[in-house]
Amino acid sequence: MNDEALKQAAKYNPPPTHLPPLQKQTSLTKSSNSNTTTSTTNGLLSPLNIVLLLILLHTAYKTFLSKPSYPVLPRPPPPIVFKTYTPRTLLPFNGEDNKPVFLAVRGAVYDVSRGRNFYGPGGPYENFAGRDASRGLACGSFDEEMLTKDLDGPLDDLKDLGDEEMEALRGWEERFSEKYDVIGRLVSVREFEEMSKKE
């Protein structure tokens, strides 16, 4: 029975397996740990993760560190002061010495400084700068004879102009009104003096 009991016990107890020495087991553990570390590092440094990290860093920088840039609005033009001019007080506004360019058409004074290339010094309409341009525009002439010679006399009443010339002048008035600001009115010296006495 002893022999039989031993045989029976041997059936149910498997023979002991021989494990490799402890050092080999440690090296296997190190090898599996380094494989795990390598795969973890490769997983963290994937291109997708790098892109996501860069986006996160950029967003954090823009949110917390960069100064907000507000749009800078241009400075508004100076306010327009409606004034009364005489031919003599209008004359200095001919665009020379970086002054504004004004001209008058049928009693309305326009600031044509935006069109300095046309009305300022050297422009094709420079004769009209600082002057009453009504007759010259109506007749389509840029000659000096079209301008009033006597700056202290009465304004040109344009009564001798025909219907075609007056129609041309109205066209110029419309063009100036659409494009330029009316900044005053032109009166004769006598009319200006009468207005000054009333005030």
Taking only the tens place, the pLDDT of each residue in 153-171 is 899 889 999 999 999 999 9
CATH classification of the domain holding 90: 3.10.120.10
Give which of 131, 128, 123 is closest to 90, Cα–Cα. Answer: 131
Q: Is residue 169 included in any domain, yes or no?
A: yes
- The reply to whether 168 falls in a domain is yes
- Residue 186 is assigned to a structural domain of this protein: yes
Which tens digit of pLDDT belongs to each residue from 48-106? 888 899 999 988 888 877 776 777 788 877 777 889 999 999 999 999 998 999 999 99
Does 178 fall in a domain? Answer: yes
User: Which pLDDT value is given to residue 110?
Assistant: 95
- Phi, psi angles (nearest 5°) of residue 2: -65, -45
Query: CA–CA separation, 128 vs 95, rounded Å?
Result: 11
Question: Among residues 149, 171, 153, which one has the least CA distance to residue 105?
Answer: 171
Q: Which domain holds residue 163?
A: 83-198
pTM of the predicted model over 0.75: no
Residue 48 lies inside a defined structural domain of this protein: no
Which candidate, 160, 177, 11, 45, places its Cα nearest to that of 107?
A: 177
The per-residue pLDDT for range 6-39, each reduced to its tens digit, is 666 556 655 555 555 555 544 444 555 555 555 5
Domain presence at residue 121: yes
Work out how many domains the chain is built from and give that number: 1
